[in-house]
Amino acid sequence: MKLKQRVVLLAILLVIFIFTKVFLIDNLDTSAANREDQRAFHRMMAGLRVELVSKLDHTLQSPWEIAAQWVVPREVYPEETPELGAIMHAMATKKIIKADVGYKGTQLKALLILEGGQKVVFKPKRYNRDYVVEGEPYAGYDRHNAEVAAFHLDRILGFRRAPLVVGRFVNLRTEIKPVATEQLLSTFLTIEPACADGDTMEGSVTLWLPDVWPLQKHRHPWGRTYREGKLARWEYDESYCDAVKKTSPYDSGPRLLDIIDTAVFDYLIGNADRHHYESFQDDEGASMLILLDNAKSFGNPSLDERSILAPLYQCCIIRVSTWNRLNSLKNGVLKSALKSAMAHDPISPVLSDPHLDAVDQRLLSVLATVKQCTDQFGMDAVLVEDRMPLSHL
């Protein structure tokens, strides 16, 4: 064989070797990631049921201190939370030392200070479990039980971006009135007693995020106009995602993939009202999208508002870890997991069976939407590997 032919042959063999090596390494990395996702799923399922217990035996810290230390830029709480039951028990039972009107917003709520100085937001019961909210997908009052269910779905999906929420019964006469501000007495307590059972009111309690993590509010790029006859750009421009990708903070970092995750989350719970969202301040796009204010969810189990998924089907990208978790939850696993996670909440049953069935059916729609994307663009273009190291030190 001539020298020139040998050189060509060696070059071809070298190219084949390099491509084979890259392909094998890529597949090994993907397989390792998939195996870790599967292990994470099994860990989540094993720790799903949270029993509310009164003591923290292994630490002298208060439940509020532990919850505050959990918060990092990409998570509100870590994957393993042995103290979660004690923290939620404290949220549901600790003495209320002050009660004031809630933070800004259109829905009625109360800001409570619990023993130990912890702030929580109390949202009262407005509907019975089987009540169906008719009209627009964002219609109706806040649903307190939706906050509880959304928190547990956040756990199940492995996002860990929703503040802790638990159900609570409060006595208006003995727990609220003695410590209420005049403003609360003149508003909340004159309107809400109709929703109470005698002196007792059912509601949800959301743990306030630590003050050392101030929030920054953003307009959601897929927000609605809320004006009849006026469409937002994303509602008529199928190339809208291309424009979003050129805009900070969606042009780099994890924020756009957080938007996609949030679209999946909101579609599963039926929340079409996320016109704004919060992240931590001065994050330069690196902070998580925090899943706050989920009470406009679980209104109508028969309504599947597909437009909530617009970020997913217009951008056609999704995290590999999210995709793996969604696939692990099909065939009735999601409904069973959600029901199990909420079983020990003080206001259980949190959701009616039609809402649990609806979550399972919506999951199939999410999976079908991703498949449409992969059929059109291929798996490599749609499934994005984006795993960020998280520290709770």
Q: Specify burial of residue 203 (Cβ count, 10 A radius: 0-12, 13-18, 19+).
A: buried
Alpha carbons 311 and 62: distance in angstroms, whole number:
40
Residues whose CB falls within 8 Å of the CB of residue 182, separated by 6 or more in sequence, listed in order: none
Residue 323: count of CB within 10 angstroms of its CB:
21
**Residue 205, helix vs strand vs coil:** strand
Phi, psi of 275 (to 5 degrees): -80, -25
**CA contacts within 13 A on the Cβ side of 21:** 6
The full length of the chain comes to 393
Phi, psi of 140 (to 5 degrees): 90, 175
Give pairs for 135-141: CB < 8 Å, separation 24+: 136/272, 137/270, 137/272, 137/273, 137/299, 137/300, 137/303, 137/305, 137/308, 138/224, 138/226, 138/272, 138/273, 138/296, 139/299, 140/296, 140/299, 141/107
Alpha carbons 140 and 125: distance in angstroms, whole number:
12
Alpha carbons 126 and 113: distance in angstroms, whole number:
22
Instruction: Report residue 77 as tokens.
Output: 């709480």
Q: Which of 142, 258, 273, 360 is catalytic?
A: 273
Task: With beta carbons less than 8 A apart as the criterion, state whether 162 and 154 touch.
Answer: yes
Whether omega before 354 lies within 30 degrees of 0, making that bond cis, reads no
273 is catalytic: yes
Q: What is the DSSP letter of 106?
A: S
What residues are labeled active site? Answer: 273
